[in-house]
Chain A
Amino acid sequence: MRKLLFQGLTRSPLTEAAPTQAELAALARDLDRTAQARLGHSLSIREVDAGSCNGCELEIHALGNAFYDLERFGLRFVASPRHADVLLVTGPVTLNMREALVRTYDATPNPKWVVAAGTCALGDGVFADSYACEKGGVAAVLNVDLVIPGCPPTPIDLLKGLLALMERPAV
């Protein structure tokens, strides 16, 4: 173990350069400017799987690996909605998960923001026409502040989306 740890000290880090401001600005375009102003520069995120296929979760997980290292941006995932500023919601919102999603939202203190990640959450996924899913994805249930498309969105897509939340509006 010592050898592995030493190697870690001597090798250059794997972590990627942060996305450019221009890339983020494009994503933040639709975001409410006042929301941006209030969000500040450090965010706690609670992930809610509202019936996803688990593909989106895998990529959200990847944000924590050494390549993306989400926490260097002051973003972190928390275990309870009570500690969260942002709900990151995936999946088509199955009717069996609808109430749990709403309750998680209600348990999150104000001010709070909702990010819908993945084609399903946006309401245009392959499950959208099912008897078991909400029509219109997350937006049918909660007020969505930012969307991150993709099936699943890549970690870079997710990272850009989340960083866009923290971008202060260019005045």
Chain B
Amino acid sequence: MAVFAELSRQGKQMAAHRPCPRILVEEEAWRAAAAVLAEGKLTLLGLWGDGQAVHMALLEDGPDEDPGKFSSTRCETLVLTLACPLGSFPSVGAVHAPAIRLERAIRDLFALIPRGLPDERPWLDHGRWRLEHPLSSTPGERLKPAPVAYPFLPAEGEGLHQIPVGPVHAGIIEPGHFRFNASGETVVRLEERLGYTHKGIESLMAGASLETAACLAGRVSGDSTVAYSLAFAQAVEAALDLSVPPRAVYLRALMAELERLANHLGDIGAICNDAAFAMMLAQCGVLRERVLRAAHEVFGHRLMMDRILPGGVTVDLTPAGATRIRELLASIRAVFPALADLYDKTASLQDRTSGTGIVAPALACRFGAGGYIGRASGRSFDTRRHLAYPPYDTLAFEVPTFFEGDVNARIWVRIREAEQSLSLIEQSLDNLPRDNLARDDRLQVSVTDIGETREGLALVEGFRGDILVSVRIDAGGRIERCHLRDPSWFQWPLLEVAIEGNIVADFPLCNKSFNCSYSGPDM
């Protein structure tokens, strides 16, 4: 860990941050870290404000790995902190583009100025909130909320025209604005403007009890409610040094994989539908519904919201429930291979998906794009493997990786991952510890006040990619600060690139193959 060692030497390690170190650095080391990011030797995992300070979470791999290929034993994380007593910090985005939107959000929420950031425009703040800089130490009341002017980046050339789309879209999807500059039907530039679903989640988190905060975490992005609840729980458990009962650990994986399976099935159908192949939507929609129904019967909620809490899980799996899930697996296995085969053999469908919306592997690495977007472009990173958390360290699975970076590759990653999830669900059932059923704490250990401030960090693999949660808990056991970083922060910018040179009519297809979250990064 050459780079981490060097960065750590330049600062002071803060106590009470788990599981990785947090180093308080000066501006020089902060700048050095930004430079190393720009060189591609580290991956940016997150960048967030905290009162009068900023934190940066980093990922380092072994020294001689190929780009995109990660080592399962040598990946490590580190958090750097820079105090900003004068209200500003050297911009990371100035040298490393993936940080730009994160820094614009920090400026909106904390009034901390990223010095040197080329983009002066706000990101989450559309001028309509009741507060200015709501997460700063002294938020100002906004007397006259009014929309701010938002100049889109220009595109110049003969015959160019603009197409504004959104925030309300044609389908049943989340809101956001897309501004296309097109030459004829070819997209010259796409610019996204998001933030429409900003709910102020991190401000609601501050001061909340662990139960309330867990409830909020499970609603950052409803499609990933299990993954978010798990990430939040793991961050709290890291902070408080709790060990979760083994049975709960496997039940968590079971739910997480059911969620991944349901989402991948839904996506595969929906992407094909956007290429006018409706039959796949119908077939996959049935399979997805079967997963949700089983989840409802076995765990009491179709999306499995609020089933994972710090300390464990709130529901057990009955023997009948286990049988129900095994039946589900059998029913999916009976149909899914034929659907994958159908996708593979339908030339008219492949014609739409192959070569469309390409993300170059180098770009996926630079942005640290997770999930199927990274893995369709050769970036094999998967927190279940490379920053493995229980029980994945004991389960056998592959991380399917493709290199073409097109819509087709993103579909194949999902198909292969759905197959892996089927196997992981089965393994979780097989390995589910049968401990003494009379013990109350077999599902959840109680969370007691620790009497001092503690900090924890967790990375969990949602169906879209790695979710980062950083949490600080005060002596009374309440949340002081909680940051939840959605995987789509590092995926949305790549969509802008993927669509360039494609025809406008292929945008829905590309967009669906990304299926980025709006609510997650809007926070």
Chain A positions near chain B (C-beta within 8 angstroms): 1, 3-5, 14, 47-62, 64-67, 77, 79-81, 91-92, 94-100, 103-104, 125-127, 129-133, 151-152, 154
Q: Which residues of B contact A67 (CB under 8 A)?
A: 286, 289
Residue among A47, A52, A60, A96 with the highest chain B CB neighbour number at 10 A: A96
Q: Which residues of A contact B129 (CB under 8 A)?
A: 95-96, 131-132
Q: CA separation between A67 and B289, bound complex, in Å?
A: 8
Whether the Cβ atoms of A53 and B289 lie closer than 8 Å is no
Tell yes or no: B216 within 8 A of A by CB: yes
Beyond A80-B170, A94-B199, 15 additional pairs, beta carbon < 8 A: A14-B286, A54-B223, A57-B174, A60-B172, A66-B289, A91-B197, A94-B198, A95-B130, A96-B129, A96-B198, A99-B128, A131-B131, A132-B198, A132-B200, A133-B199
Q: CA separation between A54 and B478, bound complex, in Å?
A: 27
Whether the Cβ atoms of B303 and A53 lie closer than 8 Å is no
Whether the Cβ atoms of B222 and A152 lie closer than 8 Å is yes
Q: Which residues of B contact A64 (CB under 8 A)?
A: 285
Q: CA separation between A80 and B170, bound complex, in Å?
A: 6
Q: Which residues of A contact B288 (CB under 8 A)?
A: 62, 65
Could you say which of A48, A91, A95, A127 contacts B168, with CB atoms under 8 Å apart? A48
Q: CA separation between A92 and B134, bound complex, in Å?
A: 18
Known: A58-B222, A61-B172, A96-B126. A1 touches B342 (CB 8 A): yes
Residue among A91, A95, A104 with the highest chain B CB neighbour number at 10 A: A95
Closest 8 CB pairs of A and B: A55-B222, A130-B200, A79-B170, A65-B285, A132-B200, A53-B222, A95-B128, A51-B197
Tell yes or no: B195 within 8 A of A by CB: yes
Tell yes or no: B328 within 8 A of A by CB: no
Which residue of chain A has the shortest Cβ distance to B199 in the bound complex? A127
Whether the Cβ atoms of B128 and A4 lie closer than 8 Å is no
Could you say which of B175, B199, B283 contacts A49, with CB atoms under 8 Å apart? B175
Known: A54-B174, A104-B168. A96 touches B196 (CB 8 A): yes
Could you say which of B197, B266, B303, B346 contacts A96, with CB atoms under 8 Å apart? B197
Which residue of chain A has the shortest Cβ distance to B286 in the bound complex? A66
Chain B positions near chain A (C-beta within 8 angstroms): 126, 128-131, 134, 139, 145, 147, 167-168, 170-175, 195-201, 203-204, 212, 215-216, 219-223, 225, 266, 279, 282-283, 285-286, 288-289, 292, 296, 302-303, 305, 338-339, 342, 345-346, 517-519
Q: Which residues of B contact A100 (CB under 8 A)?
A: 167-168, 175, 196
Q: CA separation between A99 and B168, bound complex, in Å?
A: 11
Whether the Cβ atoms of A66 and B346 lie closer than 8 Å is no
Whether the Cβ atoms of A55 and B168 lie closer than 8 Å is no
Whether the Cβ atoms of A59 and B302 lie closer than 8 Å is yes
Could you say which of A1, A48, A56, A133 contacts B222, with CB atoms under 8 Å apart? A56
Whether the Cβ atoms of A126 and B128 lie closer than 8 Å is no
Whether the Cβ atoms of B130 and A58 lie closer than 8 Å is no
Whether the Cβ atoms of A131 and B286 lie closer than 8 Å is no
Q: CA separation between A9 and B225, bound complex, in Å?
A: 37
Q: CA separation between A133 and B200, bound complex, in Å?
A: 8
Report the minimum CB–CB distance from A9 to chain B (whole Å): 13
Whether the Cβ atoms of A55 and B285 lie closer than 8 Å is no
* Listed A/B pairs (21) with beta-carbon separation below 8 Å: A3-B338, A49-B197, A53-B219, A53-B222, A55-B222, A57-B173, A57-B222, A58-B222, A61-B172, A62-B292, A65-B289, A79-B170, A95-B126, A96-B129, A97-B175, A100-B175, A100-B196, A126-B215, A127-B201, A132-B203, A151-B219
Could you say which of B167, B200, B204, B305 contacts A151, with CB atoms under 8 Å apart? B305
Q: Which residues of A contact B221 (CB under 8 A)?
A: 53-54
Report the minimum CB–CB distance from B214 to chain A (whole Å): 11
Q: CA separation between A125 and B220, bound complex, in Å?
A: 13
Q: CA separation between A91 and B219, bound complex, in Å?
A: 11
Whether the Cβ atoms of A132 and B222 lie closer than 8 Å is no
Q: Which residues of A contact B215 (CB under 8 A)?
A: 126
Residue among A59, A97, A154 with the highest chain B CB neighbour number at 10 A: A97
Could you say which of B172, B282, B303, B518 contacts A152, with CB atoms under 8 Å apart? B303
Q: CA separation between A79 and B173, bound complex, in Å?
A: 11
Residue among A5, A14, A53, A65 with the highest chain B CB neighbour number at 10 A: A53
Report the minimum CB–CB distance from A48 to chain B (whole Å): 6
Could you say which of A1, A66, A96 contacts B282, with CB atoms under 8 Å apart? A66
Known: A95-B128, A133-B199. A58 touches B303 (CB 8 A): yes
Residue among A48, A57, A131, A154 with the highest chain B CB neighbour number at 10 A: A131
Could you say which of A81, A99, A127 contacts B147, with CB atoms under 8 Å apart? A99
Q: Which residues of B contact A99 (CB under 8 A)?
A: 128, 147
Which residue of chain A has the shortest Cβ distance to B303 in the bound complex? A55
Whether the Cβ atoms of A54 and B279 lie closer than 8 Å is no
Q: Which residues of B contact A53 (CB under 8 A)?
A: 199, 219-222, 225, 519
Q: Which residues of A contact B223 (CB under 8 A)?
A: 54-55, 58
Whether the Cβ atoms of A62 and B289 lie closer than 8 Å is yes
Known: A66-B286, A67-B289, A96-B198. A54 touches B518 (CB 8 A): yes
Whether the Cβ atoms of A49 and B174 lie closer than 8 Å is yes
Which residue of chain A has the shortest Cβ distance to B287 in the bound complex? A65
Whether the Cβ atoms of A97 and B302 lie closer than 8 Å is no
